[in-house]
């Protein structure tokens, strides 16, 4: 089965006289392959021959041909409308297990969770005449999901759901944190949960004054204190630092003590590995269709995703695997003289003070920065960028150029993506090198003619990173570049930063909470410690192993290398390897 797909935002049918229709052989030989609606071209399904003429003729790159296995039609779960995203298959919640969902952005993870939560009624592909709930239950007769939907729709199986975009919560829920949580404490565990998630100091604050990380922790607390049979959490680690991510994972796994079911969609591989017992992969083409794979054990499932090939379904969904390179602990630091040096720096705000120990960075190095939220990582980067002036100490940078991507992306940038990148890159924009090292790796080509103001969070993030790397600079400063990105996008960003620093002989500082991405990108680490919102201490740049050991030792979490893919894996707390590595003081991989 072939589907010709129109990118509605790129289609400019009023400017090209609908060449896709005029040149399509299917229009004349069978019923219309491409139909018109409000002066736009939309391609009908199941009748495309896949000849590709329309794709080649379209001057706006708005058309693509997608192949789908015919046998998937019997597993059709939901379609949003004509020429809209469609989902095939559903994962099955497993009693007493945490089930992880892993896949790209816009591949159907949130759709899956909304269906399982009862927020979205699946139409089984019949978007023009949706089925009734009892018909949906009957359609799953003889399959594991029959009992789930029967209990969900009858009310016998209570389900609670944490949405992906927690910043929208204050728009629909009002009151203080205490009022919101106490009203939902059905299990009588509120006191323990607010301590574990470190939200006890937020109890008297209103929801609308909380930061993204604070809202995320409150949202997780509001879910786990409910008394339900199934708990659904969409990206619980976003906005959280690594300490908070591990704490949240421990709290979520604590739901299993009573044999409850948990389903989690997550992009942080280390957190997903630590949190999950089993994995369902989602693959396909973002914004076009998504397919839910068979269930796999957590290690096997993540490794399959990294390799891009599902053996039991004989499906390759990525051309090449993601390669992790083991960095030996004896790796040498910098290739030449220091590029940037700083003395001990200090910065004092009302109620917060920061001290950063003296250090230096060499040409071609990537310095990763790890630590809790609210202890000065962003302040240090802003001092290097010249945005903040230190109260004590100096940054000795000679005459170097700095390119800075801030943590919080503003909406002040105007124009199309191409205009933004042309302004940043100058003459480099037309070079083949620029296209090969920035445009293609960061997947921004299809966005070039779109206005920045209409982009999603992940798209804006990729454009901001591309803009930062487009400027001619000696030092690149990137603050949380993986926010809003999926696994593949995070590692693509890490790869692009490394390649540009090594090939161009420049230097980068990267603030990042994703341990896997940090391991993938960094040559050295700076570890920040302290008390959030009170004081922070930034350490000197250390070799990767030493920095990881210091950071993970403070967290009391150990990592090992997967023997097959070489990716970092979190040891389950209390496991044999966890105990052995802690005893030996080797928190980073051996």
Domains held by the chain: number = 4
Q: What is the pLDDT of residue 40?
A: 55
Backbone φ and ψ for 340, nearest 5 degrees, come out as -140, 135
User: In this structure, what CATH number is given to the domain that contains residue 50?
Assistant: 3.30.70.20
Q: Are 13 and 79 in the same domain?
A: no
Range of the domain at 203: 71-316
Least confident of 109-113, 128-132, 439-443: 128-132
Q: What is the DSSP letter of 234?
A: E
pLDDT tens digits, 365-402: 999 999 988 899 989 998 988 888 999 999 876 678 89
pLDDT of residue 455: 85
Mean pLDDT value across residues 453-460: 86
Do both 76 and 12 map to the same domain? no
Q: State yes or no: pLDDT of 424 exceeds 60.
A: yes
**pLDDT tens across 523-547, in order?**
999 999 998 889 999 999 999 889 9
pLDDT digits 0-9 by tens, 508-527: 999 999 888 898 899 999 99
Helix or strand holding residue 162 (H, E): strand 159-162
Domain-embedded: residue 56:
yes
In tens, the pLDDT along 537-577 reads: 999 999 988 999 999 998 888 999 998 998 888 888 889 99
pLDDT digits (tens, 9 = 90+) for 296-319: 999 999 999 999 999 998 888 888
Residue 243 placed within a domain: yes
Segment 246-270 shows an average pLDDT of: 92
Instruction: State how beta strands 230-234 and 261-265 pair.
Output: parallel
Residue range 580-589: mean pLDDT, rounded:
91
> Which candidate, 110, 134, 116, places its Cα nearest to that of 235?
110
For residue 206, which of 172, 170, 239, 171 has the smallest C-alpha distance?
170
- Is 34's pLDDT higher than 70? no
Strand partners for 281: 102
| Residue 331, pLDDT score | 44
Residue 119 and residue 183 share a domain: yes
Given this model, what pLDDT does residue 52 score?
78
The pLDDT value recorded for residue 590 is: 63
8 Å CB contact between 452 and 414: yes
Give residue-wise pLDDT tens across range 324-371.
877 654 444 444 567 889 999 999 998 899 999 999 888 889 999 999
- Same domain? For 93 and 55 the reply is no
Structure tokens at 356: 């950063």
List of residues 6+ apart from 471 with CB closer than 8 A: 401, 403, 424, 425
Tell whether 421 and 311 lie within a shared domain.
Answer: no
Percentage of the chain exceeding pLDDT 90 = 55
Cβ-in-10-Å burial (0-12, 13-18, 19+) of 31 comes to exposed
The two tokens of residue 303 are: 């490794």
Please compute the mean of the pLDDT values over residues 151-172 and round it to a whole number: 92
DSSP state of 45: B
The span from the CA of 529 to the CA of 382, in Å, is 18
Task: Give yes or no: residues 303 and 389 share one domain.
Answer: no
268 and 401 co-located in one domain = no
177-206 per-position pLDDT tens digit: 999 999 999 999 999 999 999 999 999 999
Q: What is the CATH number of the domain that holds 225?
A: 3.40.50.300
pLDDT confidence of residue 51: 79
pLDDT band at 103 (very low <50, low <70, confident <90, very high): very high
**Domain final residue, candidates 268, 283, 316:** 316
Check residues 410 and 87 and name the one with the higher pLDDT. 87
- The β-bridge partners of 76 are 88
Which of 69-73, 328-332, 556-560, 578-582 has the lowest average pLDDT? Answer: 328-332
pLDDT higher at 222 or 4: 222
Radius of gyration of the chain (CA): 25
For the segment 140-151, the average pLDDT, to the nearest whole number, is 93
> Is 479 within a domain?
yes
Cα–Cα distance measured from residue 373 to residue 238, given in angstroms and rounded to the nearest whole number: 12
The pLDDT assigned to 28 comes to: 59
44 and 80 co-located in one domain: no
* Residue where the block lists tokens 């009858």: 154
Residue in 511, 513, 491, 566 with CA at minimum distance from that of residue 303: 566
Say if residue 47 is in the same domain as residue 131: no
H-helix or E-strand spanning residue 178 = helix 177-182
Give the mean model confidence (pLDDT) for residues 243-248. Answer: 92
């Amino acid at each position: 089965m072939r589907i010709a797909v129109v990118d509605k935002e790129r289609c400019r049918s009023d400017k090209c006289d609908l060449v896709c229709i005029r040149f399509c052989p299917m229009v004349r030989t069978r019923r219309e392959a491409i139909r018109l609606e409000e002066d736009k071209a939309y391609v009908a399904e199941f009748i495309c021959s896949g000849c590709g003429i329309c794709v080649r003729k379209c001057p706006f790159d708005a058309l693509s041909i997608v192949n789908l296995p015919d046998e998937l039609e019997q597993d059709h779960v939901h379609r949003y409308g004509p020429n809209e995203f469609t989902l095939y298959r559903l994962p099955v919640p497993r009693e007493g297990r945490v089930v992880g969902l892993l896949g790209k952005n816009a591949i159907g993870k949130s759709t899956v969770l909304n269906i399982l939560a009862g927020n979205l009624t699946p139409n089984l592909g019949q978007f023009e005449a949706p089925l009734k709930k009892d018909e949906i239950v009957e359609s799953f007769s003889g399959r594991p999901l029959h009992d789930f939907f029967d209990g969900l729709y009858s009310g016998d199986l209570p389900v609670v759901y944490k949405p992906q975009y927690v910043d929208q919560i204050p728009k629909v829920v009002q009151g203080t944190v205490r009022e919101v949580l106490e009203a939902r404490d059905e299990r009588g565990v509120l006191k323990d949960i607010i301590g574990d998630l470190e939200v006890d100091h937020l109890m008297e604050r209103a929801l609308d004054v909380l930061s993204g990380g604070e809202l995320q922790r409150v949202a997780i607390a509001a879910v786990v204190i409910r008394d339900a049979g199934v708990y659904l959490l969409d990206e619980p680690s976003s906005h959280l630092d690594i300490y908070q991510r591990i704490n949240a994972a421990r709290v979520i796994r604590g739901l299993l003590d009573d044999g409850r079911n948990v389903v989690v969609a997550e992009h942080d591989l280390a957190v997903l590995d630590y949190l999950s017992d089993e994995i369902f992969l989602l693959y396909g083409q973002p914004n076009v269709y998504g397919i839910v794979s068979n269930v796999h054990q957590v290690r096997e499932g993540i490794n399959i995703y990294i390799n891009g090939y599902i053996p039991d379904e004989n499906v390759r969904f990525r051309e090449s695997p993601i390669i992790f390179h083991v960095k030996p602990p004896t790796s040498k630091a910098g290739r030449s003289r220091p590029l940037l040096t700083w003395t001990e720096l200090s910065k004092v705000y009302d109620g917060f003070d920061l001290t950063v120990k003296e250090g230096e960075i060499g040409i071609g190095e990537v310095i990763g920065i790890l630590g809790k939220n609210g202890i000065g990582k962003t302040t240090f980067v802003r001092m290097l960028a010249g945005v903040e002036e230190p109260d004590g100490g100096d940054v000795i940078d000679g005459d170097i150029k700095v390119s800075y991507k801030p943590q919080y992306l503003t909406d002040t940038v105007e124009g199309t993506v191409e205009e933004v990148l042309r302004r940043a890159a100058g003459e480099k924009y037309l070079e083949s090198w620029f296209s090969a090292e920035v445009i293609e790796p960061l997947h921004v080509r299809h966005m070039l003619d779109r206005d920045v103001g209409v982009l999603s969070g992940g798209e804006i993030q990729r454009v901001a990173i591309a803009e930062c790397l487009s400027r001619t600079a000696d030092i690149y400063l990137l603050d949380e570049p993986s926010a809003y990105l999926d696994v593949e996008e995070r590692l693509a960003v890490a790869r692009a930063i490394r390649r540009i620093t090594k090939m161009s002989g420049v230097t980068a500082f990267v603030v990042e909470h994703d341990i896997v991405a940090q391991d993938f990108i960094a040559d050295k680490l700076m570890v920040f410690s302290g008390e959030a919102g009170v004081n922070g201490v930034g350490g000197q740049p250390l070799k990767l192993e030493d920095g990881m050991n210091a950071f993970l030792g403070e967290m009391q979490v150990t990592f090992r290398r997967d023997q097959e893919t070489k990716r970092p894996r979190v040891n389950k707390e209390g496991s044999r390897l966890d105990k052995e590595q802690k005893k030996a003081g080797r928190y980073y991989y051996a």
